[in-house]
Amino acid sequence: MSFSRDSKLEILESDMEDDSSYIAFLSGLFHSSGEIGKENGEFYVSIIFDIDELFPYVKRIVQKLYGESVEKELGEQYAISKNNFYELRFDVKRFQQLLLDVGVIDFSNGLSFKFEINNSLILEDASRRAFVKGVYIGASTSSIKFSSGANKTESTGYHLEFVSKNHDFLIEFSSILAGYNIIGKIFERKGDFVFYLKDVSAIMDLLALVGANQSVLNLSNELVTRELRNKVNRQVNCINANINKTVEASLKQVEAINTIISTVGLESLPEDLQEVAVLRLANPEESLEELLKLSTIKLTRSGLNHRFRKILKIAKELEE
């Protein structure tokens, strides 16, 4: 299951407030995923969708509002980019009133598909939300993937987009969302127009707007999980970096002490330097803090480090 599919199914589990909301939902669905076609001399308007659970939902609405059944109108599924899509056809003659009500056909200059949104359908807040639900189910896609395990992360960001052939429709749709302070951007991609959201807060606001509350919660939990995992990773990286520094410093100190031993002998060093040299040789992997705990020498960390710097300087001079 994907985040996009889960959120759409969640929307389909909810009901509308009234008939005007049902019509607004269908309008959003047709505007976002509808297209006009002709077969055997007869015109039809079809909607293309990627979740088969949408069919019984639309069937119930059409039966409730128009007393018509669309049972036999469901076309066979076909694949696009490895995803199954479905086509639901509405014959223009039989469903003319429905198509006029949702504002997707126009007879003023022959039969044509109307991309412009009929604002009279979305005057009320409930209707606007229902319209957005229809557009969300009909045209939204998401790259959001949740972390799949305790030690596994997803590299995808938070991205949700709506794709349409019509630029004006997306401008109108973005304007509707802007009324709810949900702001996105529009660009062109391979002949299509895309309205997209990359801000996770805007995405959660949109999900809340369409009633996908569980999806909001899931996304919020994912945010917390990623933030916690990133924090742990930063801490681990910091610890590893400190370990590497400790090991590197220790190796240099042991090497310097061995240089002194092989040239002038350890006994040539002042007594205070001999003490820390012996301590280091006995504990080559320990940090300065651990050396202080193991030693009876009364020194601070900076004091111990100062003595090792003296040893390094002596070894360097002997090598030269």
For residue range 225-277, list pLDDT tens digits in order: 777 777 777 778 787 777 778 788 888 888 888 888 888 888 888 888 888 88
* Residue 59 reports pLDDT greater than 70: yes
Average pLDDT, the chain: 84
End-to-end CA distance of the chain: 68
Give me the pLDDT at residue 130, please.
95
Kindly report the backbone phi and psi dihedral angles of residue 194, in degrees, each rounded to the nearest multiple of 5, phi listed first: -130, 125
CA distance 159 to 164: 17
* Share of the chain residues as helix, strand and coil, in percent rounded to the nearest 5: 55, 15, 25
Instruction: Specify whether the CB–CB gap between 215 and 142 falls below 8 A.
Output: no
Give me the pLDDT at residue 179, please.
94
Q: pTM higher than 0.85, yes or no?
A: no
Instruction: Specify whether the CB–CB gap between 318 and 263 falls below 8 A.
Output: yes
Instruction: Specify whether the CB–CB gap between 102 and 113 falls below 8 A.
Output: no
125-153 exposure pattern, b = at least 16 Cβ within 10 A, e = fewer: eebbbbbbbbbbbbbbebbbebeeeeeee
Question: What is the token pair recorded at 268?
Answer: 């040539």
CA distance 17 to 39: 36
The pLDDT-based confidence of 162 (bands split at 50, 70, 90) is very high
15 compared with 192, residue with greater pLDDT: 192
Select the CATH number that applies to the domain covering 3-211 from these four: 3.40.640.10, 3.10.28.10, 3.40.50.620, 3.40.50.10320: 3.10.28.10
Percent of the chain past pLDDT 90, that is, above it, reads: 32
Give me the pLDDT at residue 294, please.
80
Q: What 3-state DSSP class applies to 194? A: strand
The pLDDT-based confidence of 147 (bands split at 50, 70, 90) is low
User: What ranges do the domains of the chain cover?
Assistant: 3-211, 246-319
Residue 90 bridge partners (DSSP): 45
